[in-house]
Amino acid sequence: MRKLKTLSLLLVAVFVLGACGNSKKDQKASNNSEASTADKAKKADGTDEKLKSNSYSVGDTAEVGEIKYTVNSVETTEKRNEDEEEQPADVIKVEYTIENNSDEEVPVGGDITAYDKEGTQLKQYPNGNTMDDIEKGKSMDAVVYFGIDELGEVQLQVLNLNYFDSDPLVYKVTVE
């Protein structure tokens, strides 16, 4: 009986000490997670210096992971989708080239997000947007349309769905 009590006390002590040892690791992991979340939030709103310095212009080629993007043109278009209920004041057309240097097929479409000069996200306008997959080692031209109420500065953020943990590429353009 005495051995059973001693063994029980020993097991309880091991569990208590084990829990104490893990709490420091958990706290450190929690602090790192909070810092990481704060860093991502800082990057998302454009205040991070690295993100600011990594902005590109029309014609520049940049990489996200093993995917290369080139924004070839950003311009207004008169082309409208008559079936679309929302008809914005203007529609911009973004033409870009994507080159897949990864070892797997990657999705194309939904990889560009646009923001107006106020920082408001623009809605994609259904006007023949490219939605496809691209084979490894291949390239393709793609297009996406956005509705916009007031022309001017537009920020395009490019991020392939396969690399959602990466920082987006930021293209700054003026649309007139």
pLDDT tens digits, one per residue of 2-50: 444 444 444 444 444 444 544 444 443 444 444 443 444 444 444 334 3
Residues 79 and 163 in one domain: yes
Angle at 149 between CA 145 and CA 153, to 5 degrees: 75
Does any domain span residue 124? yes
Q: Which carries the bigger pLDDT value, residue 36 or residue 101?
A: 101
Q: Say if 7 falls within a structural domain.
A: yes
Query: Do 1 and 66 belong to one domain?
Result: no
In a domain, 51, yes or no: no
- My answer on whether 81 and 150 are in the same domain is yes
| 145 belongs to a structural domain | yes
pLDDT at position 79, please? 94
Tell me the average pLDDT across 118-145.
96
Alpha-carbon distance of 127 to 146, in angstroms, equals 9
Spatial separation of the C-alpha atoms in residues 98 and 133, rounded to whole Å: 11
| Domain assignment present for 108 | yes
Quick check: pTM over 0.85?
A: no
User: Within a domain: residue 14?
Assistant: yes
Look at residue 162 in the predicted model and tell me its pLDDT.
87
pLDDT at 164: 83
Who wins on pLDDT, 11 or 123? 123
Q: How high is the pLDDT of residue 53?
A: 52
Mean pLDDT over 105-120 rounds to 95
What length does the chain have? 176
Order of strands across the sheet with 152-158?
55-56, 169-175, 152-158, 112-115
**At residue 170, does pLDDT exceed 80?**
yes
When divided into structural domains, the chain yields a total of 2
**pLDDT by residue (tens digit) across 135-161?**
999 999 999 999 999 999 999 999 988
The verdict on 96 and 121 lying in the same domain is yes
Q: Which domain holds residue 67?
A: 56-175
CATH of the domain at 116: 2.60.40.1240
Q: Is residue 50 part of a domain?
A: no
Does residue 125 sit in the same domain as residue 98? yes
Angle at 58 between CA 169 and CA 72, to 5 degrees: 100
* Residues paired with 55 in a beta bridge: 170
**Residue 34 sits in the same domain as residue 61:** no
